[in-house]
Amino acid sequence: MGWFAYLWFKLPPAPYEYQLIAEGDSKQFTQMDLEGWPELKLGQYKVQADGVDKPIAEFIVARQNEGPPVLIYWKNSTNEILYNFDRKPSELSALAAAISKHAPKDA
């Protein structure tokens, strides 16, 4: 019975995968305009779909200390709308500064 349940509820693998392209801090990712946040760890990834030669998307995430990743950049490489992301790093920096100033440090 357990084997049947496992086979019934086992999800097929996703038809895409995330591949890390580059990692670093704000000095390595100058296009993101995050010089005021040297403690951020940034990671650039590409989304590679099965059967497609070129990546279908690229994105950058930021982490502070060991916190969860936060999406800060998205570039769609398809004609389909996968995700809409406004690209204004200066507004992102202003928002992050306001959150850092007013939110509790352990939030």
Tokens of 71: 């999406």
Which residues span the domain enclosing 36?
Answer: 14-102
pLDDT for position 4: 64
> What pLDDT is stored for residue 80 in this prediction?
75
With respect to residue 4, please indicate whether it lies within any of the assigned structural domains: no
Question: pTM surpassing 0.85?
Answer: no
Structural domains counted in the chain: 1
40 within domain boundaries: yes
Of 94, 27, 84, residue with least CA distance to 59:
84
Q: Tens-digit pLDDT profile for the chain (107 aa)?
A: 566 666 677 778 889 999 999 999 988 988 888 877 888 899 999 999 999 999 999 999 999 888 899 888 888 888 877 666 666 666 666 777 777 777 777 66
Strand order in 40-49's β-sheet? 16-24, 40-49, 57-64, 70-76
User: How much is the pLDDT for 44?
Assistant: 96
Is residue 95 domain-resident? Answer: yes
Is 82 contained in some domain?
yes
What pLDDT is attached to residue 92? 67
